[in-house]
Amino acid sequence: MRKKTRKRFTVNEIGLIRTPYKNVEEIPCQSIRSKAKGTILVYPEYAKGLKDIEGFSHIVVLYRFHKAKRYRLLGRPFLDNELRGIFSIRAPRRPNYIGISTLKLEKRKGSMLKVSNADMLDGTPLLDIKPYVPQFEKRKKVRIGRLKGKV
């Protein structure tokens, strides 16, 4: 097999996420387990993109694990003691350090979004926001691998 050249691309921060979590150890595992309130501050040049977002009860937020150091291809996940492949777990030490959370959108005020279920560090760089649409996410005959019977 011929080796392919890896292409690099740039991802721009579009805002900043403020949460009560100052240390990684404080953060609940997964947003569904968090009651924490947070604020998403979208930078002014991207604020127009928030038009109509307040019609959604939940948003999917992509962000950068900005405090993660050196990625690992194996990690020990929540609810498990065995090393697993990074692409089969949701750990922060990933090759591109990208996190994803579904948050409840409480309120929008200009370029500021008030959210709950925050599960990221204070000062986390925001990469993208998408509306959560359950009909788009719903899947039938889903397998959850090693998590069967644990969640």
Which domains are assigned to the chain? Answer: 16-135 (2.40.30.70)
Segment 87-142, tens digit of pLDDT: 998 888 889 999 999 999 999 999 999 999 898 999 999 999 999 998 888 888 88
Instruction: Tell me the pLDDT of the chain averaged across its residues.
Output: 89
Around Cβ 142, how many Cβ atoms within 10 Å?
A: 6
pLDDT at 24: 74
Average pLDDT (60-71) is 92
Question: 28: Cβ–Cβ under 8 A, 6 or more apart, which residues?
Answer: 34, 36, 119
Global pTM?
Answer: 0.86
| Percentage, residues of the chain above pLDDT 90 | 55
